[in-house]
Amino acid sequence: MNGSVMNKIETLPGLRPGVARREVWAWAMYDFANSGYTTVVITAIFNAYFVAAIAGGAPWATFAWTAALAASYALILLSAPFVGAWADAHGAKKRLLAFTTAGCVLGTAGLALAGPGDIGVAIGFLVLSNYCFGSGENLIAAFLPELADDDSLGKVSGWGWSLGYLGGLTSLGACLAYIAWAEPQGHAAADYVPVTMLITALLFAVASVPTFLLLRERKTARATAPIPVWARVAGTLRQLRGSGPYRDMRRFMVCVVFYQAGIQAVIALAAIYAVEAMGFTTRETIGLIFVVNITAALGAFGFGYWQDRIGHRRAIAFTLAGWIVMILLAWAATRPPLFWLAANIAGLCLGASQSASRALVGYLAPPDRHGEFFGLWGLAVKLSSILGPLTYGAVTWLSGGDHRLAILITGSYFVVGLVILAGVDAERGHRCAQS
């Protein structure tokens, strides 16, 4: 069989030359693998366990949780551009991804050691695992422009995000099955939550194997002496100022900081809100998040195709409007049906907005600096991950536990993000990046 026929068989429309469908699947499998961490640890199980059991339901517990997350995000914020620039210069995205994956898997397993009162242990392993997760998220995203052509970034990004939510469902489902067995046996949360951490770590490790076997590192180390990483990042930051070639990327990064602050608050505190504001049980909360992951997968998959047709900026604007509607419904909800509606709107918007954001960064990034620019994207996202949850935690603390006020204030971040987005010219930014 000749090479051209073979290429037609192995590739899909929208992929760059030489990219086989199995490689895209292997790339997307990393989204499948790592999503279990955010779903189980950050969103559904360990966060509520930290507040209620490890911290004993203390008034400062929610703030302590958000502060621990903020510490890990601060580390990513400081390191992400430099990690990305180093990966570009040395052709080492995959190598660094292996290190961050190992760190997140080991850190997640370490959370199993945290029982009631073990605040230091819980925070230490949470910071380690979340730092490695976030750093790996930036590195895997930097492969996207190497796999998909410019007109299919949204579609391919959506494939990854949708498979990611299915991965989250798989991990959450496995944990829920174990909890459903453990509770009738008389096991308390302090007995079964540590086991769910081990389950999550194991699934992450196993599911990421195809990525390291099949995903290719296309960039090689530069033959000439590379520009020092710090100098390269400093040069990029100078170009982001004023009316330079990357002004649309700069404006979009500012936009990301605001609307992602709202998203990260929802991700980090959804389970806590369901329990504290709506009176959900642990099992009801996990069931809710399970369903929301399905809607998020549908949103990411379907929206990716639509995004490529209507344009990245317009697509993101649509999702931000959806987030604002969701916040208002969640704030107004006093009974489960309305809250379930709000949660599923959040799921649709979550999958769509996360996928669209990653695709737009790929569209605005210069071809030889994917790692660096996705590092800048990671910097913006992690800055928002500090800002959003800390705002929510501080409001609940200062208001005596008013979660409804906290969620309403969280909604203001989406409004600001929508206003800033109006000034982004994606096509101009793309032309500048390619020149």
How many residues are there in the chain?
Answer: 435
- pLDDT tens figures, 319-334: 999 999 999 999 999 8
- pLDDT tens figures, 278-324: 888 777 887 888 888 788 888 777 777 787 788 888 889 999 999 99
How many other CB atoms are found less than 10 A from the CB of residue 220? 9
What sign does the dihedral 139-145-146-147 (CA atoms) show?
positive
How many other CB atoms are found less than 10 A from the CB of residue 346? 25
Please, what is the average pLDDT of the chain?
A: 84
Burial grade of 435 (CB within 10 A; 0-12, 13-18, 19 or more): exposed
**Does residue 8 lie in a domain region?**
no
**Does residue 11 lie in a domain region?**
no
**Does residue 142 lie in a domain region?**
yes
**Where residue 76 falls among pLDDT bands split at 50, 70, 90?**
confident
Within 13 A of 307's CA, how many CA atoms are on the CB side? Answer: 35
Across 396-417, average pLDDT: 91
Counting residues of the chain whose pLDDT is more than 70, the rounded percentage is: 90
pLDDT higher than 50, residue 399 = yes
pLDDT higher than 50, residue 63 = yes
- What pLDDT is stored for residue 3 in this prediction? 44
Across 196-201, average pLDDT: 97
- What pLDDT is stored for residue 4 in this prediction? 42
Q: Which of 65-79, 119-133, 335-349 has the lowest mean pLDDT?
A: 65-79
Report which of 148, 85, 158 is spatially closest to residue 305, judged by C-alpha positions. Answer: 158
Q: What is the 3-state secondary structure (H, E, C) of the chain?
A: CCHHHHHHHHCCCCECCCCCHHHHHHHHHHHHHHHHHHHHHHHHCHHHHHHHHHCCCCCCHHHHHHHHHHHHHHHHHHHHHHHHHHHHHHCCHHHHHHHHHHHHHHHHHHHHHCCCCCHHHHHHHHHHHHHHHHHHHHHHHCCHHHHECHHHHHHHHHHHHHHHHHHHHHHHHHHHHHHHHHHHHCCCHHHHHHHHHHHHHHHHHHHCHHHHHHCCCCCCCCCCCCCCHHHHHHHHHHHCCCCCCCHHHHHHHHHHHHHHHHHHHHHHHHHHHHHHCCCCCHHHHHHHHHHHHHHHHHHHHHHHHHHHHHCHHHHHHHHHHHHHHHHHHHHHCCCHHHHHHHHHHHHHHHHHHHHHHHHHHHHHCCCCCHHHHHHHHHHHHHHHHHHHHHHHHHHHHHCCCCHHHHHHHHHHHHHHHHHHHCCCCHHHHHHHHHC
- pLDDT tens figures, 314-373: 889 999 999 999 999 999 998 889 999 999 998 888 878 877 887 888 888 887 776 677
pLDDT higher than 70, residue 12 = no
Rounded Cα–Cα distance for residues 86 and 94 (Å): 12
**Does residue 9 lie in a domain region?**
no
**Where residue 226 falls among pLDDT bands split at 50, 70, 90?**
low
Residues 6 or more apart whose Cβ sits within 8 Å of residue 54: 114, 115, 116, 117, 118, 119, 122
**Does residue 358 lie in a domain region?**
yes
What tokens does 196 get? 């769910």
**Does residue 4 lie in a domain region?**
no
**Does residue 10 lie in a domain region?**
no
Map tokens 């536990």 to a residue.
Answer: 401
How many other CB atoms are found less than 10 A from the CB of residue 218? 15
- pLDDT tens figures, 152-191: 877 888 888 788 888 988 998 999 899 989 989 989 888 9
Supply the angle between the helices 93-110 and 119-141 in degrees, to the nearest 10: 160
The CATH number of residue 394's host domain is 1.20.1250.20
**Does residue 243 lie in a domain region?**
yes
- What pLDDT is stored for residue 50 in this prediction? 93
* Tally of structural domains, the chain: 1
Domain containing 269: what range? 18-220+229-434
pLDDT higher than 90, residue 199 = yes
Across 54-62, average pLDDT: 87
- What pLDDT is stored for residue 429 in this prediction? 82
* pLDDT winner (highest mean) among 84-93, 151-160, 383-392, 414-423: 414-423
* Cβ atoms of 114 and 75 closer than 8 Å: no
- pLDDT tens figures, 237-276: 565 565 567 788 888 889 999 999 999 888 778 777 888 8
